[in-house]
Amino acid sequence: MRGKLKQGKQKSHTVAVVGDKVRFLVIDDKEGVIEEVLPRTNKISRMASRRAGGHIEQVIMANLDQVVVVQSVTEPTPTAGFVDRLLISGERYKVPAVLCVNKCDLDESAIDNPAWDYYNNLDCTVIYTSAENGLGVSQLREQLSDRISLLVGASGTGKSSLISAVMPGLELRVSEVTEKTGLGRHTTTRTELFPIGDGFIADSAGIRGFDPWGIEPEDLSGYFPDFFEHSAKCRFSSCIHENEPDCGVKRAVSSGSLPEWRYKAYLLLLKQLRERLSEKSVRYRKKR
């Protein structure tokens, strides 16, 4: 990468990321230089971890057709809020979201779990899979073919297994990469790309926490589309549905037309987002 691209407030890993389109100067068979990163149509972006600098943007991937959030019904148990965080992030920067509920062989009742099905109402495609017994694998394959997708989910949810199931014959290449780098695949945070038809699957290993980038607490409810019909009835247009009087969202929860777990998920995220933002460093404020 040209030195000048790396300068400024952004870290280099955000200057050019997986999925970016770049102008590239070929030097010889082995080397070249990225001269320019072309404008992105969209991105999945989070706040860097505290250790990596806290309130800096960390773009995970750019120019995607969809983000596929992988959760397992058990082992590991679904992480509260993880799906919401990714959906919000997708909504924020115009990336359609797919929810993949994996390991359905371990708990067949998951398919009837209304909490998973609920996401179908939120413009999110829900696919139930098992890399173990093949359930939903062809549906997932169809969803991934010829598209550029990012797979995110905690380690152990089955991302690598699903990629292998969707693309038989790929397993070998996965293990080759592992041998070459000598790194445990579960400990890395790099993102690997696998071609599928005219598209790619990006397997993002090691993403645990995800604090969506570019979302202010007062705007959060704008990323909960199921709140809209109710928030239209709030007395205050600036209502964040917390302590305000005459709130349409809270009324909807009382009357049962908005599930309570959904409202609780919102409140929890609101609290966590505020906490994270209050950690803002003085240096960061100046830069903004």
Ligand X SMILES: Nc1nc2c(ncn2[C@@H]2O[C@H](COP(=O)(O)OP(=O)(O)O)[C@@H](O)[C@H]2O)c(=O)[nH]1
Q: Which of 143, 160, 191, 231 binds ligand X (CB under 6 A)?
A: 160
Q: Which of 16, 135, 165, 239 binds Zn ion (CB under 5 A)?
A: 239
Scanning 2-10, 48-56, 124-132, 188-196 for contacts with ligand X by CB under 6 A, the matching segment is: 124-132
Phi-psi region of 241 (alpha: psi -120 to 50; beta: other; left: phi over 0): left
Residue 279 to residues 51, 169, 248, 267, 272: CA-CA distances in angstroms?
13, 46, 31, 19, 11
Find the angle CA(156)-CA(159)-CA(163) to the nearest 5 degrees: 145
Rounded Cα distance, 75 and 111, in Å: 16
Rounded Cα distance, 249 and 252, in Å: 5
Tokens standing for residue 75: 């082992």
156 versus 209: smaller Cβ distance to ligand X: 156
The residue sitting closest to ligand X, measured at its beta carbon, is 158
Q: Which of 159, 241, 250, 262 binds ligand X (CB under 6 A)?
A: 159
Beta partners for residue 218, in sequence order? none
Scanning 6-14, 46-54, 154-162, 240-248 for contacts with ligand X by CB under 6 A, the matching segment is: 154-162
32 versus 156: smaller Cβ distance to ligand X: 156
Tokens standing for residue 143: 């969803």
Q: Which of 46, 85, 103, 250 binds ligand X (CB under 6 A)?
A: 103
User: To the nearest whole angstrom, how small is the minimum distance from the Cβ of residue 75 to ligand X?
Assistant: 7
Among 207, 258, 228, smallest CA distance to 89 is for 207
Rounded Cα distance, 155 and 82, in Å: 13
Q: Which of 15, 241, 265, 273 binds Zn ion (CB under 5 A)?
A: 241
What mask, x for binding ligand X by CB under 6 A, covers residues 193 to 232? ----------------------------------------
What mask, x for binding Mg ion by CB under 5 A, covers residues 148 to 167? -----------xx-------
Q: In the chain, helix, strand, coil percent, each to 5?
A: 40, 20, 40
Q: Which does 14 bind (CB under 5 to 8 A by kind): Zn ion, ligand X, Mg ion, none?
A: none
